[in-house]
Structure 1
């Protein structure tokens, strides 16, 4: 597929910008779909190396607009669909926008792919669709549980995507990443929240619940998973977990970060950061055997040592003052 053009929606975001950069490095022709705004901002793509900017074709639009989505996809051979609203707390505040963006936006992508005859649609799911684990490690057969408006909207989006494969043979693959972290991640996520508070000189770190566990994945591993799904015909019609097969609590994560940054911290519970009781996902731990079998993919940053290695690279990126100035460490970002 290297001679073909790939559209990446949500390329202005955290994972999307890393993915667009990787695809350029691999030699793909890359068109990126970024959210239109009057500042002419390309999100995180504004901060990638100049040679990457010169190699991408930028389309500004809104994933909720079916006409713009179809125009963006014209002339492309495949689409990697990452555009979505992802912040869980904000989904409590404005659930309607999540339905429009995540469900209707996905419908726009697969409908255009069907009409234009694209050779591949890689749709991005999330481990949040599983809710609190009923068994671990979590396989792709685990029940789906909408424990937040965000997760419910992503369940709906996943079902829209796979329905087009079942109904119209649209070549859809669903990638289901677990908790990705790394450079450029929003401060609404827990790892940047901890890092930026420490870098701001705080030693009493404000967090929500610290007992839930997560399966964290360094962004480099997640991006390699996306590329593997794109390039494998075996992924068509499949839902595939991309995870480390390793769980760690939020409290342990905070301590690992403190160790990497060589500081002593205390954790304070901030009630504003707590999810409603039945909405909290208590445990996530990925079974990644399907990805290994179908894609020959496996994480390079796995286990405690891999996690610490990824944290070190993330901390190093945030240590750069030019990167750190892009964050408002003193504010809770929902």
Structure 2
């Protein structure tokens, strides 16, 4: 998200035009199913919780604006050309191999590298974190069900936790005494920050029977184990902040 403030035109090219190209190619090739990946960021800060699929869309960053546009392009191909498409709207995914631009791997990799303090942005917002294996299971469930075609469907845990409390949980699991420091460079513009995300996952449960298999603690434990492996940790430059 942060880089979309610097290069918004690239997000239009990738998210909107890219989605158009994929849909056109899928239509021409007569593919059996398309799962278009949206994001919970399209909802912006929750106007009510939990957030269901009828929640208003709020473009609070160039990134989220282009994802809203991409969703509209994708659904237009279903409505206009009967492309067998489902919009999957995952909430915050985390797990092994995640980019260090995200908060959870930022914390884990720095603690694992022996840092004594970590610079962070605002830690008051809440998120609905989902372990990557659960997100993948959600995608598979949507792709196998015929009643999900033409639908927009959340993938999430139906729970929320603040970034601050998530950090404390990671700190506890890793038995660390690390200090958290607020860094103004990492704070989003006030109107752009999404302060609350909490997924209503009733629709995916109703249509596919899907529900998350991992608690946040269980997912973090597996994630920490992966990042703590020296061979994996070596792939991350923990002393550099990339947007």
TM-score interval, normalised by the smaller of the two chains: over 0.9
Q: Does 1:325 align with 2:234?
A: yes
Deviation >6 Å, runs of 4+: none
3-state SS, counterpart of residue 277 of structure 1? coil
The residue aligned with 2:194 is 281
Contact kept, 8 Å, 2:109 with 2:228, in 1: the verdict is no
Spell out, residue by residue over 1:43-63, the C-alpha distance to the aligned partner (whole angstroms, 9 max, x if none).
xxxxxxxxxxxxxxxxxxxxx
Structure 2: gaps spanning 5 or more residues: none
Q: Distance in 2 between matches of 1:204 and 1:323?
A: 21
Choose the corresponding residue for 1:250, options 147, 157, 163.
163
**Secondary structure of residue in 2 paired with 1:278:** coil
Residue in 2 aligned with 1:264?
177
Superposed displacement of residue 265, structure 1: 2.6
| Cα distance in structure 1, aligned partners of 2:220 and 2:116 | 18
Asked if residue 312 in structure 1 is aligned to residue 221 in structure 2, the reply is yes
2:213 maps to: 300
Residue of structure 2 in register with 1:161 after alignment: 74
Give me the TM-score of the superposition, normalised by structure 1. Answer: 0.72
Which string of whole-angstrom CA distances, capped at 9 and with x for unpartnered residues, describes residues 272-322 of structure 1? 111000000000000000000001100012xxxx10111010000001111
- Give distance in 2, aligned partners of 1:318 and 1:141: 37
State how far apart, in whole Å, the 2-side matches of 1:288 and 1:308 are. 20
| Cα offset, 1:112, TM superposition | 1.2
1:115 to 28, 35, 42: 28
1: CA distance, partners of 2:43 / 2:106: 24
Shift of 1:197: 1.4
Distance in 2 (CA, whole Å) between partners of 1:266 and 1:136 is 32
Gaps of 5+ in 1: 1-87
Structure 2 distance, partners of 1:153, 1:204, is 35
Residue from 101, 113, 124 that aligns with 1:211? 124
- The superposition leaves residues 16-41 of structure 1 with CA deviations (integer Å, 9 ceiling, x where unpaired) of xxxxxxxxxxxxxxxxxxxxxxxxxx
Give the corresponding residue for 1:133: 46
Alignment of 1:45-84 (within 5 A): none
User: Superposition RMSD on alpha carbons, in Å?
Assistant: 0.7
Shift of 1:111: 0.9
Equivalent position of 1:239 in the other structure: 152
Alignment: residue pair count? 243
Aligned to 2:10: 97
Distance in 2, Cα, partners of 1:308 & 1:203: 23
How far off its partner does 1:201 sit? 1.4
Counterpart CA distance in 1 for 2:23 and 2:146 is: 18
SS in 1 for 2:58: coil
Give CA deviations for 1:235-269 in whole Å, capped at 9, x if unaligned: 10000100011100000011000000001232100
Alignment of 1:20-59 (within 5 A): none
Corresponding residue for 1:145?
Answer: 58
> What is the TM-score normalised by the length of structure 2?
0.99
